[in-house]
Amino acid sequence: MKAIFVTLLTLLSIQSFAAYNGVLLEKIYQTGFVPDDKAFALDCKIYSDKITIKYQKIGLVKTIQLQKQIESDTLALIDQAATGEITSIKAPTDIGYRIYTAIQVLNNDTIKAIDLGSIKDSDVITKNLSPAAATLKTYLDTTCDAALKM
């Protein structure tokens, strides 16, 4: 029964997704208070067919674009992550920020940003308790890091 539900959910997502060609997953990272030679910023965006990365360090800006198809279960994972409970706690004020976001394409062709877990505004840590959110964060980390090394 669960497999039928996930398949149905995926098919519905694919129908809505067909008209959408924007960002599906995004990782934004900026270091906190560190020496200039250690400071950097990263913005990694995953689309259905490509990855774009903007990396900045000490005045150097590196932009990468790679053609890559997303994994077939990504849309279903985004839908599952959208149901996750979001918790938040206070954070130290100098640790920079990390923002993990998924974009859910709804059946009426609108989109909804899903917080996968973040350190925002340098004082709040959010966590999406859905196992799918953790899977998507790991996917963002490994995909963006691998693309950056190319």
Q: Using H for helix, E for strand and C for coil, what is the string for 59-125? A: CEEEEEEEECCCCCCHHHHHHHHCCCCEEEEECCCCCCEEEEEEEEECCCCCEEEEEEEEEECCCEE
pTM of the model: 0.81
Q: Which residue has the tokens 């279903």?
A: 76
User: Residue 2 pLDDT more than 70?
Assistant: no
Give the list of residues 6+ apart from residue 145 with CB closer than 8 angstroms, or none.
none
Kindly state the average pLDDT of the residues 117-140.
90
Return the pLDDT at 18: 58
Query: Amino acid identity of 17?
Result: F
Q: What is the pLDDT of residues 5-32, one digit of tens each?
A: 333 344 344 444 557 889 999 999 988 7
pLDDT category at 91 given cuts 50, 70, 90 is confident
The proportion of the chain whose per-residue pLDDT surpasses 90, expressed as a percent, equals 47
The proportion of the chain whose per-residue pLDDT surpasses 70, expressed as a percent, equals 85
Average pLDDT, the chain: 83
Q: How far apart are CA 125 and CA 53, in angstroms?
A: 24
Q: How far apart are CA 9 and CA 5, in angstroms?
A: 6
User: Residue 95 pLDDT more than 90?
Assistant: no
Q: What is the DSSP letter of 65?
A: E
